[in-house]
Amino acid sequence: MNIKVNGENKQYDLGINALDILTQLDSELKKTAIAARFNGELVELMQPLETDGELSFLSFSDDEAKRVLRHTASHVLASAVKNVVPEAKLAIGPAIEHGFYYDFDVDEPFTPEILAKIEKEMKRIIKKNDREVRFTLPRDEAIAFMQEKDEPYKIELIESLPEDEVISFYQQGDFVDLCAGPHLPNTGRIKALKLTSVAGAYWHGDEKQKMLQRIYGTAFTDKADLEAYLTMIEEAKKRDHRKLGRELDLFDILDEGPGFPFFYPKGMVLRNILENYWHEIHEQAGYEEVKTPIILSRTLWETSGHWDHYRDNMYVTKIDDADYAIKPMNCPGGILAFKRRKWSYRDLPQRLAELGLVHRHEKSGTLHGLMRVRCFTQDDAHIFCTEDQIKQEVIGIYQLADSVYKTFGFPYKIELSTRPENSVGSDKLWELSTKALKDALDEMGVPYTINEGDGAFYGPKIDFHLRDSLGRSWQCGTIQLDMNMPELFDLSYIGADGEKHRPIMLHRVVYGSMERFIGILIEHFGGAFPLWLSPVQAKIMTITQRADAAAIALQEKMKQRGLRVELDLRNEKIGFKVREAQMMKIPYMLIIGDREAEEGSVSIRTRKGETVNDYSQDEMIELLVAENASRSTERNWGI
């Protein structure tokens, strides 16, 4: 059997596994390899290889390899729980971003004391370095095997699998679990782990099913990486947008409206800044704005398919004895705005943008601050164009999104998602659409990864994954090519040949959701926004009442230059005033005493504690105006 490894073709016996090949090749690589890729497919190191092909090895730096290690860690967790709490019933335990979890059915919730015992038991199991052994059973035997072990959730999972599905199990020591894999060769490759939290989780995510206990954890190949991750988690807790939203008086979610955020005056300042910036850049990019109704008739949602396929997530009502729905998305309204008149090919592209408020009925257990809400504003745009215009329009959208993310200081990665199994449209149109997106990215020289089969059912898409200051990834922007909606709504334009043609529809967002983007910004900056985003950019505070008149005059001058300034004339010590302003993360504290009032100067302190005395008020105003206009994420003048 011929296998290409490290650029060389070598002959091996049929059925050899990657681990044995690795042992023959490089003992150092054997220490870091977690999984392999054979002919482009992810395989575990123990999987027998039975065809010619190309083999490469994956270390923990590879995302797929991370999932293999963390999925194995979830099985170690299940084994430890069964040792500590033998009556626990096993549900599921996948790897997730940054870690893993496992769901258990137990009589009593896991306490911190029990969690500590489970983590200790996990470390004991890992130290044993048991081999991970895969085996399969026929369907009936697999069910009987799980019946013998009294694992009802596993039996249900087996019964839900297709009749021809291979039923596989993994064994580590005395512990056996239903699993498709892949796994590590042995548990000892998990060098560092931590159980992080416990939460309730419904079986199958269904509120009508039993509430299970979900244990979250994470695992690494290096203790230093684990410590760095735990430090990041602690920092993330400090930056939690829900906590900072209340402390900085930006927004809150009240019991009277679960999932429906209240924005307070300072939060509205931030929101309006983002919206004004959005209006400005879209006007420059040749978009026209529309506003479509929040409530539209059932017939519209039937045409779009939402009534049949998205009904459970929609809020509905009756008007004049007819069914209506609050829109869960803006697309159908944007289509009606396009359909209002006849178009020529000379009129295209038509770029219709909308900051549209949508409502979706999310389950209460999934709500999370501004990140998952029931009403939110999407910064939608729908572009109607010809096939020949697709590439240029995609390039324009990309350039717009790129400029926005650079303005806020977000690095990002691009993912191109291709045709899923449940797609609509012809092979020819899918091929054309996917090639158009790919050609646009290639023409710009943009690096991207292919996400096979994860496109929308109506077309391929490009997703922007932003990286925040803590290294976390957020999917915000997207470009989706739609071949379905123009057909459903019978959209057309008159071509150069005088005949009707079907336009191509591009859906796109940049912020994604205004609410969620604000939540991301709060956590990215830790509430310490750059000057142009800060609801209060400076606070003027006096040392004595004799300086009050000078402070009021300075505030007026700054407001006239477009700066957002508050006064603190309270009869309090200046140190107290400064600390309070720093707690509110105000960029600049401007202090005026008797001398400053007389000289027309000001002492400046930043929220980081930097200070400069006797600064000219006029010069300070010019510097702040320039910094504000620059939309920089960093101060561009020294103190």
Residue type, 339: K
CB 626 within 8 A of CB 532: no
Between CA 166 and CA 194 the distance in angstroms is 33
Annotation says 37 is catalytic: no
* Catalytic, out of 66, 71, 419, 507: 507
Between CA 340 and CA 338 the distance in angstroms is 6
Annotation says 380 is catalytic: yes
CB 562 within 8 A of CB 625: yes
* Catalytic, out of 82, 172, 331, 617: 331
Nearest to 454 by CA among 424, 415, 426: 415
Q: Helix H segments across 593-633?
A: 594-599, 617-630
Angle among Cα 605, 607, 612 to the nearest 5 degrees reads 20
Cα torsion 516, 517, 520, 526 to 10°: value is -120
* Catalytic, out of 172, 213, 378, 537: 378
Report the interhelical angle of 265-284 vs 514-525 (nearest 10°): 110
Between CA 186 and CA 274 the distance in angstroms is 51
Listing DSSP states for 178-215 in one string gives E------SBGGG--EEEEEEEEEEEGGG-TTS-EEEEE
Residue 155 tokens read as 């039996």
**Angstrom distances, CA of residue 529 to CA of 123, 409, 537, 542, 609:** 42, 12, 9, 24, 16
Question: 574 forms bridges with which residues in the sheet?
Answer: none
Annotation says 375 is catalytic: no
Q: Which helix (H) or strand (E) holds 380?
A: strand 375-385
* Catalytic, out of 103, 130, 379, 380: 380
Annotation says 360 is catalytic: yes
Between CA 340 and CA 14 the distance in angstroms is 66
Coil, helix or strand at residue 86: coil
Between CA 269 and CA 264 the distance in angstroms is 9
Annotation says 368 is catalytic: no
* Catalytic, out of 183, 241, 359, 461: 461
* Catalytic, out of 70, 360, 372, 524: 360
Angle among Cα 350, 356, 361 to the nearest 5 degrees reads 130
Between CA 65 and CA 47 the distance in angstroms is 15
How many residues appear in the chain?
Answer: 639
Cα torsion 332, 338, 340, 341 to 10°: value is -150
Give the single-character DSSP code of 285: T
Coil, helix or strand at residue 605: strand
Give the single-character DSSP code of 286: T
CB-count burial class (<10 Å; 0-12, 13-18, 19+) for 254 = exposed
Coil, helix or strand at residue 376: strand
Annotation says 246 is catalytic: no
Between CA 404 and CA 624 the distance in angstroms is 22
- Residue 353: how many CA atoms within 13 Å on its side-chain side? 20
* Catalytic, out of 66, 382, 391, 438: 382
Coil, helix or strand at residue 379: strand
Residue 407 tokens read as 């303005």
Annotation says 508 is catalytic: no
Token look-up 């430890």 returns: 80
Give the single-character DSSP code of 563: -
| End-to-end CA separation in angstroms for the chain | 69
Phi, psi (degrees; rounded to nearest 5) at 107: -70, -35
Contacts of residue 21, defined as CB under 8 A and 6 or more positions apart, other chains included, come to: 3, 5, 12, 55
What amino acid positions are annotated as catalytic residues?
A: 331, 360, 378, 380, 382, 461, 507
